[in-house]
Structure 1
Amino acid sequence: MRRLLRWLIAGSTPPLMGYAIGLGALAGAVVTAYDVILLRIGEWLAVDWLRLPFDQPPGLHPDILLHPPAIWFPIITAIGLSASWLIMNRAFSGVGSHTTDRVIDAFHNHNGNLPMRLAIAVAIASIFTVAFGGAAGREAQAGLIGAAVAVAVGRRIGVRPADLRTIMLIGLAAGFSSAFKTPLGAAFIAVEILYRDLSIESDALIYTIVAAVVAYVLTGSLTGWEGEFRVAVATGLNQPGDYVWIALLGVVGGFAAALMPTVFFTIRKIVAGIPLPGLLKAFGGGLVVGVLGLIAPVIIGDGSFSFSLQDAAAWSGWTLLAAGTLRLIALSITLGAGGVGGVLSPSLIIGALLGAGFAHLFELPFLQTAIVGMGTLFAGAARVPIGTLLMVSELTGGYELMPAAALAVAISYAIQIVVGERLPYPSIHGEQPPTLWSSPAHQDEILAAGIGLLQ
């Protein structure tokens, strides 16, 4: 059976292309199953049972008092974060970090090794976090699960140790692609998110593209093809003056992206440092996030059923900016209190709210400006400009906006690098080494190059 599996997956030339096809399909299938379970539970709790008013702007909502099940939302979120804490610290104690940073660390310091036990723990705990209303994304888990599945199968069928890092990136891209239905963005983010500068793992890119496309086709065939934030945009931004405003949005987004990691990690450290038992802290953090969710339902979950640009169009500019701020605070508390989740989709929503608020304040085309804003924050805060640009275009269908989005993302990224490197936390991903050549994964190449020069 082992020989048959290896032949089915690696029987192509070169072998890594076969691995990309086979493992892309396998990781995509596993992540699709995980996604369907998480989203079904989350939608049933928040939409069908609690009937939270997701179309309403932040504020006190009297209709919640008239619909008693919604009052239970803070308790539901508290139970979810408590269960997540118990899973990670009791049932699966010792698995360690469980974010995208764990994948980054595995690439640089552990030859791509990720324990399958970690993926199981993350899958279960994140369902309790995100589906029960925690303000976190599901992409980190999807990527980690995909990477761990690919590594486990790769080791089982005898992949060369030298190829294990590429195998991990294949699974990471497939997981991202399956979760967001954005194959090109997922493929680039998988090789781009590893470093704080513009270095990428270019040797792995062709394989991450293939794996991401395979995962996308599989997931699309099962659950539909469109990205979850798809909107109808009639035209792009076609006036020269529009690009002046878009450049200014890039500046604002760059400063926001520079501040975001420091705000995020500072709140997380404050919450983590509260002198209470971990379980009680998780329950209390869940209560706080739940109350914030009643005030601003847009912060709930990963945004797949709680966020709509069309609904946000009716809100005022300052309300949109306040909603984005609350989203960041709730995200930080959720993860600081013991929840398991990612920062990508919350960052995209915060960026969209920033762009939407900017559009209202300066009377710009609403949907177009919001879509452009969606990419400015994460592109800088996570140091992934190319992948984010592609992912936002695929998520929203706003391909005509790519020139404007590229301008805003480039400006945001440049400002984030200059300002962010002077702050305590330069990136939202703390395990990123500054450059490719500072990574332990490339020390042998550096040594070989040095010996070559000496000879």
Structure 2
Amino acid sequence: MRILQMGNIKKYIHVVMLLGKWILLGGLIGVVVGTTTAFLLETNDYLGKVREGNGWLIGLLPLGGIALGYMYMKFGTSMINNTLHDAAELNNLVIDAVHGTKTVLRRMGPIVYLGTFLTVVLGGSTGREGAAVQMGGSVAETVNRWFKLKADTKIMLMSGISAGFGAAFGTPITGAVFGMEMAALGKLKFEAVVPCLVASFAGHYVTENGWGVKHEHFTIQTLPDHSMLTFAKIILAAVIFGILSVSYCQLRHGIQRISERMFKKNHMKRAFVGGLIIVAFTLFAGSQDYNGRGLPMLEQSFKEDVPPYAFLAKLVFTAVTLGTGFVGGEAIPLFFMGATLGNALHAIMGLPLAFLAALGLIAVFCGGANTPIAAFLLAMELFNGKGMEYFFIACIVSYIVSGHHGLWPAQTMYEPKSRLYNVTNGEPIGRIEKRKK
């Protein structure tokens, strides 16, 4: 009896020590990532204002592409265990590391920061949260190496992702779930919930309260009345938003495949040509509304009408920017596309403008990221819980409509969205897309 009691005591001690370790390491990752994310957000905002005040900088984007390409080709690759680990794979490398097939390069964070700054100041169409997530992975890998936590590598990387997302958007609950949901569709590693939660909240707190960084806020003034017609409209709108997310992902990946094949994966040449195309598009548009994050028009879409083609212009600008080798986040561009499309649809569908813009923002992100739980929580945190039943439906519908497509081909499929395709457990969606073609 005493032996059994001693065995139970040892188990309890082991659990307490394990939780303590995860809390400590999750907090450490959150603090470091929160600090680096605060630097990222503040610097990006400053560089964005510099670009807006100096429109001529867009003309330097092709040269910036050469510099960025050189940086990734010179410093962004490493051969580990006879496998190429390329920082230019961005979030895909982080996802592969979570699955244990590759390793996040510790220098990936600084490289993507410099690349994002260069892209932003010269007018590439991109966001910034991608750099925060990759820095989170880089910091987590560094902590993992320092403390020799080989058995907990996946959990630490998820914590880094959570910290980066929670700090970048000021949404700690969403960040915690996003870190667990991003890598695989249909599977959540709940073992990581404690370090992911701690890392996300620590990153958010350090960014917002420690460094005083303020995040963007969007307001829904009016919600539609409950009725069968309203829910039917929500479903229809979510289908449209899901199709938009697929369109962006396919175009962005298509441009990447074509440019890599044409220039034999020479990042310098790819980005130079991509920069020339963006300059030409900017001159054709007659404004820089679709360069950078496009935050002014995104905010405008919640208050008044914006050009009905704005979502399409942003789709093309961002797909070319990222598809030709420039770097940055894709969440804010997806927010822009969804919100401006919702803005364009509100008069046709008879739903409140700000509400439909918010619905598009969430649904397009959900369809692209393939993270329905995180997307729903994001809606709750961004819009203070308003219209939760509508957002829940929109997330589910958009997730299903987007099919086996997404922003990151390295995402694995553990539960197929459709029985029309035979999906091997753990198969990357990039491979599924190729097979369907």
TM-score (norm 2): 0.82
Conservation of the 8 A alpha-carbon contact between 1:351 and 1:376: yes
Change (3 A) 1:326 1:273: farther
Conservation of the 8 A alpha-carbon contact between 2:19 and 2:194: no
What secondary structure does 2:387 align onto? helix
Q: Which runs of 5+ in 1 are unaligned?
A: 1-9, 51-69, 441-455
Give the counterpart of 2:369 among 382, 385, 389. Answer: 382
Q: Which amino acid aligns with 1:415?
A: V
Conservation of the 8 A alpha-carbon contact between 1:169 and 1:191: yes
Tell me if 1:119 matches 2:114: no
Tell me if 1:164 matches 2:165: no
1:373-411: per-residue Cα shift (whole Å, max 9, x none)? 11111212221111112224434x352122211111111
Q: Which amino acid aligns with 1:144?
A: Q
Question: 2: CA distance between counterparts of 1:255 and 1:23?
Answer: 36
Conservation of the 8 A alpha-carbon contact between 1:73 and 1:290: no
Give the counterpart of 1:187 among 161, 176, 179. Answer: 176
Change (3 A) 1:92 1:430: closer
Question: 2: CA distance between counterparts of 1:93 and 1:199?
Answer: 30
Question: 2: CA distance between counterparts of 1:188 and 1:409?
Answer: 15
How many aligned positions are there? 393
Which residue number in structure 2 is paired with residue 133 of structure 1?
123
Which residue number in structure 2 is paired with residue 427 of structure 1?
406
Change (3 A) 1:137 1:73: same
Question: 1: CA distance between counterparts of 2:210 and 2:357?
Answer: 30
Tell me if 1:79 matches 2:63: yes
Tell me if 1:332 matches 2:332: no
Q: Which amino acid aligns with 2:181?
A: E
TM-score (norm 1): 0.79
Question: 2: CA distance between counterparts of 1:307 and 1:80?
Answer: 25
Question: 2: CA distance between counterparts of 1:332 and 1:114?
Answer: 25
1:232-269: per-residue Cα shift (whole Å, max 9, x none)? 32343333243322121112122333333222211222
Question: 2: CA distance between counterparts of 1:297 and 1:315?
Answer: 18
Question: 1: CA distance between counterparts of 2:335 and 2:402?
Answer: 16
Question: 1: CA distance between counterparts of 2:243 and 2:273?
Answer: 32
Which residue number in structure 2 is paired with residue 23 of structure 1?
29
Which residue number in structure 2 is paired with residue 323 of structure 1?
310
Q: CA deviation at 1:225?
A: 6.4
Alignment of 1:404-443 (within 5 A): 404-417=390-403, 421=404, 426-435=405-414, 438-439=425-426
Q: Which amino acid aligns with 2:366?
A: A
RMSD: 2.6
1:76-116: per-residue Cα shift (whole Å, max 9, x none)? 333332322121123545461341111001111347x4221
Which residue number in structure 2 is paired with residue 364 of structure 1?
351
Change (3 A) 1:398 1:25: same
Tell me if 1:300 matches 2:286: no
Structure 1 range deviating more: 79-88 or 349-358: 79-88
Q: CA deviation at 1:313?
A: 4.6
Conservation of the 8 A alpha-carbon contact between 2:302 and 2:357: no
Question: 1: CA distance between counterparts of 2:179 and 2:360?
Answer: 22
Question: 2: CA distance between counterparts of 1:144 and 1:348?
Answer: 20
Alignment of 1:139-158 (within 5 A): 139-158=129-148
Q: Which amino acid aligns with 2:331?
A: L
Tell me if 1:177 matches 2:166: yes
Q: CA deviation at 1:210?
A: 1.7
Conservation of the 8 A alpha-carbon contact between 1:271 and 1:333: no
Tell me if 1:351 matches 2:338: yes
Change (3 A) 1:398 1:243: farther
What secondary structure does 2:289 align onto? helix
Tell me if 1:42 matches 2:38: no
Q: Which amino acid aligns with 2:390?
A: A
Structure 1 range deviating more: 149-158 or 186-195: 149-158
Alignment of 1:269-308 (within 5 A): 269-275=257-263, 278-293=267-282, 295=285, 297-303=288-294, 305-308=295-298
Change (3 A) 1:134 1:108: same
Conservation of the 8 A alpha-carbon contact between 2:35 and 2:203: yes
Question: 1: CA distance between counterparts of 2:204 and 2:377?
Answer: 15
What secondary structure does 1:191 align onto? helix
Conservation of the 8 A alpha-carbon contact between 1:251 and 1:415: yes
Q: CA deviation at 1:142?
A: 0.7
Conservation of the 8 A alpha-carbon contact between 1:299 and 1:327: yes
Q: Which amino acid aligns with 2:328?
A: G
Which residue number in structure 1 is paired with residue 94 of structure 2?
103
Conservation of the 8 A alpha-carbon contact between 2:26 and 2:198: yes
Q: CA deviation at 1:223?
A: 4.9
Conservation of the 8 A alpha-carbon contact between 2:302 and 2:339: no
Conservation of the 8 A alpha-carbon contact between 2:34 and 2:205: no
Q: CA deviation at 1:217?
A: 0.9
What secondary structure does 1:165 align onto? helix
* Identity, % of aligned positions: 23
What secondary structure does 1:340 align onto? coil
What secondary structure does 2:92 align onto? helix
Conservation of the 8 A alpha-carbon contact between 2:127 and 2:328: yes
Which residue number in structure 1 is paired with residue 386 of structure 2?
400
- By relative contact order (CA 8 Å, sep 6+), the higher-ranking structure is 1
